[in-house]
Structure 1
């Protein structure tokens, strides 16, 4: 049976993070994940996780200077010092709350210098994360939601993972982004399974609840069951009318 992680970057955004964790537990989620928890104390997050028994699957490195349009830093050649500071911040926070993964955001860049910088920073991140048992994730983003983002396809991500050569570097396979950019989700998941560290879901093309649109997630769940994938799927969608009112999809996907 499928299990699910609530992405608290999108779900229960009106609540403080510790209360959102509690809301996810009451709603029947099996784990949680979030984007940028850094304004909340690690003690408060850890207490909510302990109270609910939920695992925090992952957090992101910061975007950078958001007012200037930053969407990550790790592939920008002239900002390597900032990128590594963001990596240290994320790994330290993840270690303090027991989070399993850190998504290192690449940022807006292009070309060979950007690729080389991204590889170097991922080597730094994986070495920093390894003693804590933390996996580093990279995620291709679609060019509608994330214009000019460096990492856009699963093949590009797989090549970079191979170039870094670290056992704790994996692919965040977001079905929403990859359906928009590439499609053929079932075959791509099967081919990339050895390097997949986490899978996320949302409707395409509106990023709403995963119960409508181009992708039949019942098929995705059945295919993952057949492949022996047993980890929670990340629900990273924008609820149309509030999170609590949006959760009917979970009952359907859990029941098969």
Structure 2
């Protein structure tokens, strides 16, 4: 192709991609929305919090999505009403910045998780989130040992009740000074704890920003990953052609590892039709 013709053709294609956020549902979605269910789909409710909670649950049921992330005990009865599973529970943590890497929070965290773990199990759920906390001058090696010292006091209870404690990985752009900011540190923590009841919540958005090479990380460290979150990079928006990650390949890599947990959508919607954006994301992640 002549260079001049190539540039003109490429310009048209780029214009089409740039207009992705303005797409309507009938432009980006097949006429019939139907999931294959080779992937256990979920979604983080906070991204759609402007939709009344029960209305959102009804929509998920209509889509054939039976799980939702980051819901605490106060709303579990509503999930039961609509037969929606809580794929990642919260409510035991102190905050994202005050976590297991600092011994001064251990007493409160141990109390919180000791109370929450039986509740999670009694409700029929499995996953409970936790955070490393910020460094605040603590060396990464010291912080890792602090996490081991604290978490090892609740892991036996988690094992008894069949609950998996999952520490989320964050990047340094959105969460400056957060300690669990790379796969290797998190995997090392898993190895030190030596329990199938402690895993990493691998947030694809965060780790693309922090370390990249997403598929290689999934292939190399998947035994330590118990849950996945999605979002587009840059911007944490839709996972369509407006961003740099190709999610069908990523989800295929997850599926190829034999993963049977949940992949939860966690992007900030820019489309006018938020449910259309969510449908599009589910379809892209439905291998």
In structure 2, the residue matched to 1:43 is 77
Equivalent residue of 2:226, what SS?
A: strand
Alignment of 1:103-182 (within 5 A): 103-109=129-135, 110-111=138-139, 112-182=141-211
Task: Measure the CA separation in 2 of the matches of 1:235 and 1:252.
Answer: 11
Task: Measure the CA separation in 2 of the matches of 1:152 and 1:61.
Answer: 22
Task: Measure the CA separation in 1 of the matches of 2:153 and 2:274.
Answer: 37
From 71, 77, 88, give the equivalent of 1:58: 88
Structure 1 residues 3, 44: CA separation in 2 closer, same or farther (over 3 Å shift)? closer
Alignment of 1:81-96 (within 5 A): 81-96=107-122
Structure 1 residues 163, 61: CA separation in 2 closer, same or farther (over 3 Å shift)? farther
Q: Does 1:22 align with 2:54?
A: no
- Alignment size in residue pairs: 244
Task: Measure the CA separation in 1 of the matches of 2:57 and 2:201.
Answer: 22
Task: Measure the CA separation in 1 of the matches of 2:244 and 2:157.
Answer: 39
Deviation digits for residues 78-105 of structure 1 (CA, Å, limit 9, x no counterpart): 2211222232343244224222111111
Equivalent residue of 1:219, what SS?
A: helix
Per the TM alignment, residue 42 of structure 1 is displaced from its structure 2 partner at its CA by 4.1
Unpaired runs of at least 5, structure 2: 1-37
Task: Measure the CA separation in 1 of the matches of 2:260 and 2:99.
Answer: 32
Alpha-carbon RMSD:
2.3
Equivalent residue of 2:165, what SS?
A: strand
Equivalent residue of 1:9, what SS?
A: helix
Task: Measure the CA separation in 2 of the matches of 1:43 and 1:3.
Answer: 22
Task: Measure the CA separation in 1 of the matches of 2:51 and 2:197.
Answer: 33
Equivalent residue of 1:57, what SS?
A: strand
Q: Does 1:7 align with 2:44?
A: yes
For normalisation by structure 2, the TM-score amounts to 0.76
Structure 1 residues 129, 20: CA separation in 2 closer, same or farther (over 3 Å shift)? farther
Task: Measure the CA separation in 2 of the matches of 1:127 and 1:120.
Answer: 13
Task: Measure the CA separation in 2 of the matches of 1:132 and 1:9.
Answer: 27
In structure 1, the residue matched to 2:264 is 234
Unpaired runs of at least 5, structure 1: none
Q: Does 1:250 align with 2:261?
A: no
Structure 1 residues 205, 63: CA separation in 2 closer, same or farther (over 3 Å shift)? farther
For normalisation by structure 1, the TM-score amounts to 0.85
Q: Does 1:185 align with 2:210?
A: no
From 42, 50, 69, give the equivalent of 1:33: 69
Deviation digits for residues 199-241 of structure 1 (CA, Å, limit 9, x no counterpart): 2211112111222411100111222333333433111111124
Higher CA-based Rg: 2
Q: Contact 1:72–1:108 at 8 Å: present in 2 too?
A: yes
